[in-house]
Amino acid sequence: MKAMSRKLAIVCLAVITLFTSGCKKQAAEPEKTEGGLRIGYAEGVTVVDDANALQKQYDEMMEAAKQPGMTLTYTNDAFSTDGLNFDCFISNDAQNTYDMFIAIYGDDAFTDELYLSQLLRPGTAFETIKLNHALTPGDNTVYVAYTQVEEVDGEQQVHAQNIVTMVFHVTEN
């Protein structure tokens, strides 16, 4: 696990370095020479002469990689005969550290709120939910936002969020 975290941190550091060094100016077109194409040197890049700054950035990324991730456990399909009450499985996995709430939307702009839960403790799940309004018969793609919450100085704050799609099937009676 540590080796994977270290590899992830190194890849992230490389991406950050490439992004920050190349974001000021677009790379020049490769030069055409008799020997074929040659890539010229980028202009407007930042010279890295402070090894301590790079080490600090690496250490911060390694520390962030130690934070617990979010494990998602759910069944991709939910079923209903009335478009309002659904049999489903949406959980806050027992491996998670933080409480979470679930928000379900009917559109990718997150304006059609179908469902908003209270907090789920790790290791708890919904097996049925009732939507705010009925979905039409057929297969409906919905957007499910899993939002982890942590307590900081007596206030609840978002710790992390992950969004997945599910298919809510409505069959006609």
72 φ, ψ (degrees, to nearest 5) = -105, 130
Residues 81 and 122 in one domain: yes
Q: What is the pLDDT of residue 56?
A: 80
| Residue 103: pLDDT band with limits 50, 70, 90 | very high
Residues 56 and 79 in one domain: no
Where a domain ends, among 42, 65, 88?
A: 65
Report the C-alpha gap between 143 and 124 in whole angstroms.
20
Mean model confidence pLDDT for the chain:
82
Show Cβ contacts of residue 93 under 8 Å, excluding neighbours closer than 6 positions. 71, 72, 73, 122, 123
Residues 56 and 121 in one domain: no
Mean pLDDT on 43-54: 73
Domain count across the chain: 2
- Single out the residue of 98, 108, 172 nearest to residue 138, CA to CA: 172
Report the C-alpha gap between 128 and 119 in whole angstroms.
15
| Residue 16: pLDDT band with limits 50, 70, 90 | low
Secondary structure (DSSP) of 41-104: PPSSPPP---HHHHHHHHHHHHHHHTS----EEE-SEEEESSSSEEEEEEEE-TT-SSEEEEEE
Rounded to 5 degrees, what angle do the CA atoms 123, 89, 145 make? 80
Q: What is the pLDDT of residue 48?
A: 67
pLDDT in tens, 105-118: 999 999 999 999 99
Q: Which residue has the tokens 């002469």?
A: 49
Where a domain ends, among 46, 65, 84?
A: 65
Q: What is the pLDDT of residue 18?
A: 47
Has residue 17 got a pLDDT over 70? no
Residues 112 and 148 in one domain: yes
Domain that holds residue 33: 2-65
Q: What is the pLDDT of residue 42?
A: 84
Has residue 1 got a pLDDT over 60? no
Residues 114 and 32 in one domain: no
Show Cβ contacts of residue 115 under 8 Å, excluding neighbours closer than 6 positions. 102, 103, 104, 129, 130, 131, 132
Residues 81 and 151 in one domain: yes
pLDDT in tens, 22-40: 444 454 555 666 667 788 8
Has residue 93 got a pLDDT over 50? yes
Residues 93 and 148 in one domain: yes
Residues 94 and 147 in one domain: yes
Residues 10 and 76 in one domain: no
Residues 88 and 126 in one domain: yes
Residues 85 and 166 in one domain: yes
Report the C-alpha gap between 168 and 80 in whole angstroms.
8
| Residue 66: pLDDT band with limits 50, 70, 90 | confident
Range scoring the smallest mean pLDDT among 16-30, 94-108, 122-136, 148-162 = 16-30
